Amino acid sequence: MVSIPLLAGSIFLIAVIAVSTKVVKQYEQAVILRLGKIQKERGPGLFPLVPLMDKMVRVDMRLRELDVPKQTVISSDNVTLEVDAVIYYKVKDATRAIIEVEDYEAATLLLAQTTLRDILGQNELDTILSDRDDLNNRIKEILDAATEPWGMHVAMVTMRDVALPENMLRAIARQAEAEREKRARIILAEGEYQASQMMNDAASMYENKPSALKLREFQTLTEIAKEKNLIVVSTGSDNGAKTSEIPILMGLSKAAADR
């Protein structure tokens, strides 16, 4: 028969072993504090702790996202807008993340909010809307440098949404419409200029080559004859011409009548 003290001792020993044995996942690191003093990092895997002396703090070493809530920002040209962002970061040194800052995630979030307002407040609205990549990189570099003593690395910062007031949206729409109207008028003016230039070149060519002008006249008469209308055309004879144009005109009229 098993004695009660032996049974109680066995149960107590099993409970102590169960409590003092810890399992750390592959993506975690465990920071061990023995009587309040840092010992070393452990993990992943199974390892024991000294009961009543050791305390373990788990640190997730994966890349994580941090949602920065909407911040009210006043740009350098006095436009009020609301901007939210997403930060991707990871812990590089679990020990420093535990001992250098009380809550590294909350500290990073507050720092990101302040940095977002400061950087965007130094730029005009057009820059904020058109140069997001540059602004994201600047915010990322500032956050990375500020959190590096905490054993962290900011991998990427992305502004997710820029909300503008309704009156500013209408102003931007009017500006875009005016810009499109401007481009349309410039294109039309360029077309008119090119057409006038080509007509001027054609006039110069006809002036230097009267035979080309006469061929163009015959082509025009041919186009008129296709409509089968009665049109009287009076033509003069060229200087030095040895043949008359009347047979040619009669031929054009006959060709039109046969159609």
Per-residue pLDDT tens digits for 151-162: 999 999 998 888
Residue 89 lies in a domain: yes
Q: Which residues make beta-bridge pairs with 152?
A: 91
Residues in the chain, total: 259
As a whole number of angstroms, the distance between CA 47 and CA 22 comes to: 6
Whether 214 and 238 have beta carbons less than 8 Å apart is answered as yes
Residue 186 lies in a domain: no
Of the three residues 131, 164, 197, the one that is the final residue of a domain is 164
Is residue 12 domain-shared with residue 55, that is, in the same domain?
Answer: yes
Over the range 129-167, which residues count as b (16 or more CB within 10 Å of their CB) and which as e?
A: eeeeeebbebbbebbbebbeebbbbbeebebeebebeee
Is residue 82 domain-shared with residue 119, that is, in the same domain?
Answer: yes
Of the three residues 132, 164, 196, the one that is the final residue of a domain is 164
Residues with Cβ within 8 Å of 248's Cβ and at least 6 positions away in sequence, in order, are 218
Is residue 76 domain-shared with residue 44, that is, in the same domain?
Answer: no
Mean pLDDT for the chain overall: 79
pLDDT digits (tens, 9 = 90+) for 73-82: 888 888 888 8
For residues 49 and 187, which has the higher predicted lDDT (pLDDT)?
A: 187
Of the three residues 134, 164, 194, the one that is the final residue of a domain is 164
Is the pLDDT score of 238 beyond 80? no
CATH number for the domain that contains residue 106: 3.30.479.30
Query: For residue 242, what pLDDT is reported?
Result: 44
As a whole number of angstroms, the distance between CA 6 and CA 88 comes to: 54
> Averaged over 9-35, what is the pLDDT?
76
Residue 156 lies in a domain: yes
| Alpha helices by DSSP H, the chain | 4-20, 94-99, 104-121, 125-130, 132-147, 166-208, 210-225, 246-258
Q: Which domain holds residue 149?
A: 64-164
Domain count, the chain: 3
The two three-digit tokens of residue 233, written as one number: 């055309």
